[in-house]
């Protein structure tokens, strides 16, 4: 079983990852996205949410000597703490934590609270990691990720959706596949469940 300690060893971290019990991604999910990153060497990585995963992915870019992470984060305190962690791990050249406050957006008559995607620079996303906003915020909280970022996805973009064992995530992936039939989804049975979407 994957652990944070295994991940630290694999990625050559010299100190412990800053893990919080309630908010940090599970180690097996971090292993999936870091393995993908090291093998496929994406140039542009975008995260919905920030934290331990931002450090792990920025470290992968450092090891690859290629790529950059842009993490959208709605909470100012989390922006500051994760940016400080990138600094502490000497990874600020490889990742940016972007303050993207949640605002109301209307998708097909339904209102969602979602990140201000206008805060992102002009990019084409090769790897999209969806781990926010929190599920308790609203029904199908992470659904807007694909419709709002669709035009920014590169042709070969791969999407990882965390917490996919939850009913909400299962339902929103069905809707994604209905709305964007060029994508196929693979479900990975891990601690919290994970969907991987590819064209």
Quick one: tokens of 120? Answer: 């992102």
**What's the pLDDT tens digit per position in 144-171?**
999 999 999 999 999 999 989 999 999 9
For tokens 């209307």, name the residue. Answer: 106
d(CA 67, CA 14): 22
**Interval 141-146 mean pLDDT:** 95
**What's the pLDDT tens digit per position in 47-89?**
999 999 999 999 999 999 999 999 999 999 999 999 999 999 9
What pLDDT, on the 0 to 100 scale, is given for residue 2? 65
Question: In b/e form, how buried is each residue of 58-74, taking b as 16+ CB within 10 angstroms?
Answer: bbbbbbbeebbbbbbbb
Label residue 174 by pLDDT band (50, 70, 90).
very high
Label residue 134 by pLDDT band (50, 70, 90).
confident
Label residue 24 by pLDDT band (50, 70, 90).
confident
Q: Is the pLDDT of residue 133 over 70?
A: yes
d(CA 157, CA 155): 6
**CB-based contact 161:193 (threshold 8 Å):** no
pTM: 0.95
**Interval 178-182 mean pLDDT:** 96
**Which structural domains are found in the chain, ordered by start?**
4-198 (3.40.50.150)
Arithmetic mean of pLDDT over the chain: 94
Label residue 189 by pLDDT band (50, 70, 90).
confident
**Interval 24-40 mean pLDDT:** 93
């Amino acid at each position: 079983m994957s652990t944070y300690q295994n991940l630290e060893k694999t990625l050559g971290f010299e100190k412990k990852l800053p893990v919080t019990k309630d908010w940090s991604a599970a180690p097996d999910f971090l292993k999936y996205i870091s393995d993908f990153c090291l093998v496929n060497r994406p140039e542009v990585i975008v995260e919905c949410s920030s934290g331990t995963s931002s450090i792990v992915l920025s470290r992968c870019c450092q090891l690859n000597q290629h790529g950059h992470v842009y993490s959208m984060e709605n909470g100012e305190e989390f922006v500051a703490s994760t940016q400080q962690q990138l600094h502490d791990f000497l990874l600020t050249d490889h990742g940016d934590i972007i303050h993207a406050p949640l605002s109301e957006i209307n998708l097909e008559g339904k209102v969602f609270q979602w990140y201000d995607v206008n805060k992102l620079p002009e990019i084409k996303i090769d790897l999209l990691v969806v781990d926010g906003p929190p599920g308790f915020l609203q029904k199908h909280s992470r659904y807007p990720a694909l419709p709002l970022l669709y035009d920014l996805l590169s042709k070969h973009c791969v999407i990882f959706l965390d917490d996919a064992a939850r009913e909400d995530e299962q339902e929103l992936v069905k809707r994604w596949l209905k709305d964007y039939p060029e994508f196929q989804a693979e479900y990975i049975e891990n601690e919290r469940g994970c969907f991987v979407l590819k064209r």
